[in-house]
Structure 1
C-alpha cells in the first residue's frame, strides 16, 4: 500500500451553523453540501466543504453531535494536535488572513516561522487547532529535508 495524499478531514461539532459559518465564511472554504439547511446524515446536521482547487470531491465534513458532547481536553493529550491549511504563497496573504481573522473576532493563538513555512495558529468554535500557512518562496526543502526540522522561531509579519 502507498498513501497518495491526505484526502479529507471529518470533525464532530457542537453547533453545525456556527462551525459551517466559521469554515465557510471566515476561512473561505466552499460549501458544497448541503446547499441549504435541513439535510442530515443519520439524523445529524452536516456540512461538506472543498477548496476551489477542485483537487477532490470534499476535504472537510462536519457532523453535528450537539451541545452535550464532551469538549476537547486542554493540554497534552492523545489524538489530533492541529491540522494545517495552506492559504497561499506569500506573507502578504498571511497579513490578509490576520486582518480577516481580526474582523471576524477570531483570536490568533500564535505565529511561527518554520523556515520552510510561515504559520498562524487559530482554533475553530469547538477548540480544534488549525495552522494557516504559506510556504516560504525559494526554500528548497526537497533537496534539504533537514530544513523541515529546523527549530521554529517567532514570526513577525
Structure 2
C-alpha cells in the first residue's frame, strides 16, 4: 500500500480546537497514569563511559500486531511514512531511505495490558520544524483521535500520539545542541506546555516530510535498578537523567536514545504476549563494538542470539534489543 498524498493547503487555525483541548487536559494528567511524560533533570552527574561510540543511533522498531493493514494505514496514510517493503503479513515503513517502523502479523496472541512491560513509545525525529508541522496537519486532518498531548522539553519539541493498537508514538524536533543545558552530566529536559496550533501556525509551509530517523525509544519495565544494570552495565549506554519512575540513557552526548519507566508497570514480571514491541534496534559504527558487547553479555551471564552479524538480547522483561553495524 502506497501512502496517499494530500495536496490541499491546510488552514492551521482550523486545527486549534482539535489539538488545544486535548493538550490542556493532557498536561494535567498524572505521570503514573500511563499518558503524560513529565521530564526534569535529576541534577546528578551521569557516568560518561564512552562504551558505545559517538555515532550510536536508534534504528527500526518492530511492532507485532494482529492488524498489519490497519497499522500500515495509520503509519503510512496518517503519519506519512513511506512503504519500503511489504509482504502478505508484514510491512516496513520509513522516510528518506531510513526504516522506522516494521509491522509483523500475529493473529493469535492477546493484546498487552496497560501494566505489561513493553513499548511506551517510539519517537521519530524530524530534521526541521516545517516538515514536522506538515506531519501534524496530516494527522489532525486524518486521525485527530490519536493525538494525546504535546510538550516543550527544552532540548526538543514533542507531540504524542497513539496508534490503533495503543502503541505510543512521539513525533519531535530537536533544538540545536548548543541550546541544551547540562548540569554535572545530567541534561535538563524540563516540560512546559506546547500549543500545537501555535507551532503549526509558526512553522507550516509547503515542505513535505522527506526524511526522519528513529530518535529514541521509551520502554515500560518492571523496576529501574535492573533496567539500569542491563542498559548501562551490559549494553553500554550512559545515564543522562533520572526522575521518579524513569531513567534516560544515551550514547555520544545525545539527550536520550532510550528511556525506561515503571509508571504503569512497577514490579511487573516478564512479558506475557508477543503483541506490541517486537524489538528495537541500536546501530553502532563498527563490528568491534559488537564484539565488545558480546564480551559484556558473557561477563554478565546474559544469553543472546546471533543473526548474521547482528546480536539480539532480551532485557529482564523480554523486550528484545537488536544491535547492528550501520551500513
TM-score by length of 1: 0.76
Quote how far apart the aligned CAs of 1:119 are: 0.8
In structure 1, the gaps of 5 or more residues are: none
Asked whether the equivalents of residues 115 and 152 of structure 1 are also in contact (C-alpha less than 8 Å), the reply is yes
Are residues 1:13 and 2:57 paired?
no
* Contact 1:14/1:65 (8 A) holds in 2: yes
Distance 1:73 1:51 in 2: 31
After superposition, where does 1:1-150 map in structure 2 within 5 Å? 2=52, 4-34=56-86, 39-40=87-88, 45-52=89-96, 54-55=97-98, 58-66=99-107, 68-74=108-114, 77-90=116-129, 92-107=130-145, 108-137=147-176, 139-141=178-180, 144-146=181-183, 148-150=187-189
Alignment partner of 1:153 out of 189, 192, 209: 192
SS at match of 1:71: coil
Higher helix proportion, which one? Answer: 2
Q: Secondary structure at the match of 1:69?
A: coil
Instruction: Please give the per-residue CA displacement for 1:43-85, whole angstroms capped at 9, x wherever unaligned.
Output: xx10012321x35xx332101112x5322322x5532211110
- Residue pair 2:90, 2:104 contacting (<8 A) in 1 also: yes
Greater CA radius of gyration, 1 or 2?
Answer: 2
The structure whose RCO (Cα within 8 Å, separation 6+) is larger is 2
What is the alpha-carbon distance in structure 1 between the residues aligned to residue 150 and residue 117 of structure 2? 23
Q: What residue ranges of structure 2 are gaps of 5+ in the alignment?
A: 1-50, 199-327
Rounded Cα–Cα distance in structure 1 between residues aligned with 2:176 and 2:58: 23
Rounded Cα–Cα distance in structure 2 between residues aligned with 1:139 and 1:97: 26
Q: Please give the secondary structure, in 2, of the residue aligned with 1:151.
A: coil
Distance 1:129 1:77 in 2: 14
CA RMSD of aligned residues (A): 2.4
Measured in 2, the distance between the counterparts of 1:21 and 1:126 equals 12
Answer whether contact 1:117 1:134 (CA < 8 A) is retained. Answer: yes
Taking the aligned partners of 2:132 and 2:73, their CA distance within structure 1 comes to: 20
Query: Relative to 1, partners in 2 of residues 1:106 and 1:63: Cα closer, same or farther, differing over 3 Å?
Result: farther
SS at match of 2:92: strand
Provide TM-score, normalisation by structure 2. 0.39
